[in-house]
């Protein structure tokens, strides 16, 4: 059974099942899978935004992961929605 393809917008929890580098789990929103970069069989490079507990992007990262170990999340699974707009207050 193969893992579901990695898609832009996927909300993913990364822990040791995705790679040993994640001794402390992180949550990311996938930007894209980086194709054309050489990997081992069963591994992939992804470009993603690391999210904080409120769902806000805090770092842009390129990560080497096992797609079969990605734990996909939905919007209600512990990370709030990312803020899409910023309101500026104009002095009167």
Q: Is residue 90 part of a domain?
A: no
Q: Inform me whether the pLDDT recorded for 85 exceeds 70.
A: no
Q: Is residue 35 part of a domain?
A: yes
Percentage with pLDDT > 90 across the chain: 67
pLDDT band (50, 70, 90) for residue 68: very high
Distance in angstroms (rounded) separating the CA atoms of residues 35 and 30:
14
Q: Is residue 88 part of a domain?
A: no
Write out the residue range of the structural domain in which residue 28 sits: 11-73
Q: Is residue 6 part of a domain?
A: no
Q: Is residue 83 part of a domain?
A: no
Q: Is residue 2 part of a domain?
A: no
| Closest alpha carbon to 50 in 4, 23, 11 | 11
| pTM beyond 0.85 | no
Tokens of 39: 């990997």
Q: Is residue 47 part of a domain?
A: yes
Distance in angstroms (rounded) separating the CA atoms of residues 25 and 17:
10
Per the structure, the count of domains in the chain is 1
pLDDT for the residue 38: 81
């Amino acid at each position: 059974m193969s893992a579901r393809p990695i898609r832009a917008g996927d909300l993913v929890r990364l822990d040791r099942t995705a790679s040993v580098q994640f001794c402390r789990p992180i949550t990311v929103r996938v930007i894209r899978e980086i194709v054309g970069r050489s990997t081992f069989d069963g591994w992939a490079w992804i470009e993603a935004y690391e999210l904080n507990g409120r769902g806000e992007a805090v770092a842009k990262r390129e990560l080497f992961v096992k797609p079969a170990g990605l734990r996909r999340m939905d919007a209600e699974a512990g990370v709030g929605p990312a803020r899409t707009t910023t309101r500026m207050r104009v002095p009167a």
